[in-house]
Chains A and B, each alone.
Chain A
Amino acid sequence: MTKITRDDVLHLAQLSSLQLGDTEIDGLQIDISNILGYVDQLSKLDTQGIEPTYQVTGLESVWRDDKIIDYGVSCEDLLACAPESADNQVKVPKVL
């Protein structure tokens, strides 16, 4: 049984860019332990010499012509989706 500690949860939250509230951390610790406990059953399966399947269509490197497609969407339309914008740019808090 995979045991997930509170520190594990905080580490996973950090990897996932989630600033969790205290009450949620406790619940997630139990849930994640239980879910990993369930999927752990795969470890007993013999997969020696089996190739992984990452996608099912068998398609590989689908190419298209290097031409600009008009999606009918303007720069203004896209900027209007951003929570904050100024001077025709998306606005974010100071990074450094």
Chain B
Amino acid sequence: MTNISDIQLQIKNTSARAVVENSIKLAKANSEYNALLNLTEERALLRADKIDAGLIGGRLAGVPFVVKDNFLAFGAPTTAASKMLETFNTPLQATAVEKLEAEGAICIGKANLDAFAHGGSTENSAFGPTKNAIDQTKVAGGSSGGSAVVTALDIVPFALGTDTGGSIRQPASFNGVVGVKPTYGTVSRYGVVAMANSTDTIGVLTSAVADAELVMSIMSGEDERDMTTLPDFFKIEPCAKSNQNIGLIKDFMAEGVDPEVRASINKYVDKLRADGHTVTEVDLPMVEYALAIYYIIVPAEISSNLARYDGIRYGSRAGGIKTLAELYGQTRDQGFVTENKRRIMIGSYVLSSGFFDAYYLQAQKARTLLINEFNELFKTYDALIGPVAPTTAFNLGENTTDPVKMYLNDIMTVPASLVGLPAISVPVGVSSLGMPIGVQIIGPRQSDASLLALAKSEELK
């Protein structure tokens, strides 16, 4: 695995241009994975030359990275893996991208995702699925599947993703890389295609925990263009607090969970105990309802957010139409994939008069109960752990015909999203077939740096 420090050494010994060229070469050589939708080659090389000439510097000077294609970034269209935005060239960049560029990092391309980030396998991309980095017959996970695969294949040392219900953590787990979903409000979402405003977060996928710390410390902080951002609280912790009290979420270790996944988590528990931490089983009965809460609230927010794609101001517009209603209807029919439509329509249903109280309001009340349960546990525990997903990466096509079955795969990642908690995914083992398994570490709000410090202290052993 290539770390940022390895890349920095390569830049020192050769040049930023040589490193960026190598990264682009690797991206092209691995095109069969379909992890990248577009390269930003020309702009990347221009920036590399400026760095070599000493015109741009910073903590990530010359370090190549990839962004999920729902981040507005210069040098290629921002498609959100949809026909709707296939040719959309942004006039502005996401705050997260701007902050990384200000530190000299170089974006080399835009990663595949489920269209508009709706999905957990990258099979909902309008431009074909991304294949798993370890086994090409398996899914990459999603929706940040492309970002996970380019990191796992060492094309770049880090890639940006978005996580609304597990979209960073699950693909990280499926491809054996580190994934960080920060506390809600940590990183500005300005310039990122909105999905569900109350749970959307921006984070990073890396090979090493220390690299995730560095990238998060750069991206974090208040942005007046995203009023939900928190004042910068992210301070890298050089070492983990000793004798932590850690809760193992019993509800995530039940019968239906792959025994090999459970075994890997139990091994991690043993390691934590050997290092002086106390690990106790804890109950979170409300997680049984988390998925139902999520698949009411998130489609509701999606139906509202995706109303902006009307074929008028940007994006594609259907041809051969006569009326405005036809323009909307046809543009949206052609520009969205079925999963987008499914979620928009579920959202329209749960928000419509007559059903609002039974679905939407009930879900928001249930969310309060879920939050209360987590708050109660964090009075005693520093962090909670469990698997990221019930299984390792599943086969391509295995769950595409049954949306509920596909959604069930998110059962362990949606709780932290609904509560706005930081949660990270760290590789802890592989199955007998060699498929990666990740552990999920969830902490109280704004404990992001502590979670990473804990993961880092265990990573080295």
Q: Which residue of B is nearest A95, CB measured? A: B324
Residues of A with C-beta under 8 A to B364: 52-54
Q: Which residue of B is nearest A49, CB measured? A: B365
Contact between B346 and A32, CB atoms less than 8 A apart:
yes
Give per-residue flags for A28-71: 1 if the beta carbon is below 8 A from chain B beta carbons, else 0. Answer: 10011011101111110101001111111101001010000101
Q: What separation, in Å, do the CA atoms of A16 and B14 have in the docked complex?
A: 54
Q: What separation, in Å, do the CA atoms of A72 and B315 have in the docked complex?
A: 21
Contact between B292 and A21, CB atoms less than 8 A apart:
no
Secondary structure of the A side of the interface?
loop
How many chain A residues touch the partner (CB < 8 A)? Answer: 54
Q: Which residue of A is nearest B93, CB measured? A: A72
Q: Which among A28, A41, A55, A82 is the interface contact of B289 at CB below 8 angstroms?
A: A41
Task: Count chain A CB atoms within 10 A of each CB in B228, B363, B365 and give the residue with the most.
Answer: B365
Give per-residue flags for B315-342: 1 if the beta carbon is below 8 A from chain A beta carbons, else 0. Answer: 1110001111111111011001010011
Q: How large, as a class, is the contact surface on chain B? A: 35 or more
State how many angstroms separate the Cβ of B384 from the closest Cβ of chain A: 17
Residues of B with C-beta under 8 A to A38: 291-292, 295, 404, 407
Contact between B358 and A16, CB atoms less than 8 A apart:
no
Q: Which among A31, A42, A84 is the interface contact of B317 at CB below 8 angstroms?
A: A84
Q: What separation, in Å, do the CA atoms of A26 and B224 have in the docked complex?
A: 45
A92 and B367 contact, Cβ closer than 8 Å, known pairs A35-B342, A69-B224: no
Q: What separation, in Å, do the CA atoms of A93 and B318 have in the docked complex?
A: 12
Within 8 Å of chain A (Cβ to Cβ): is B227?
A: yes
Find residues 203-235 in chain B having any chain A CB closer than 8 Å to their own CB: 224-225, 227-228, 230
Contact between B329 and A17, CB atoms less than 8 A apart:
yes
Contact between B317 and A83, CB atoms less than 8 A apart:
yes
Contact between B312 and A90, CB atoms less than 8 A apart:
yes
Q: What separation, in Å, do the CA atoms of A21 and B348 have in the docked complex?
A: 19
Q: What separation, in Å, do the CA atoms of A6 and B190 have in the docked complex?
A: 39
Give 30 A-B contacts (CB < 8 Å), ordered by A residue. A13-B341, A15-B345, A16-B332, A16-B347, A17-B332, A18-B341, A18-B345, A21-B333, A24-B341, A27-B338, A34-B403, A39-B295, A42-B289, A42-B366, A45-B289, A45-B369, A47-B369, A50-B366, A51-B365, A52-B365, A59-B185, A71-B92, A71-B225, A80-B91, A81-B313, A83-B317, A84-B317, A93-B321, A93-B327, A94-B323
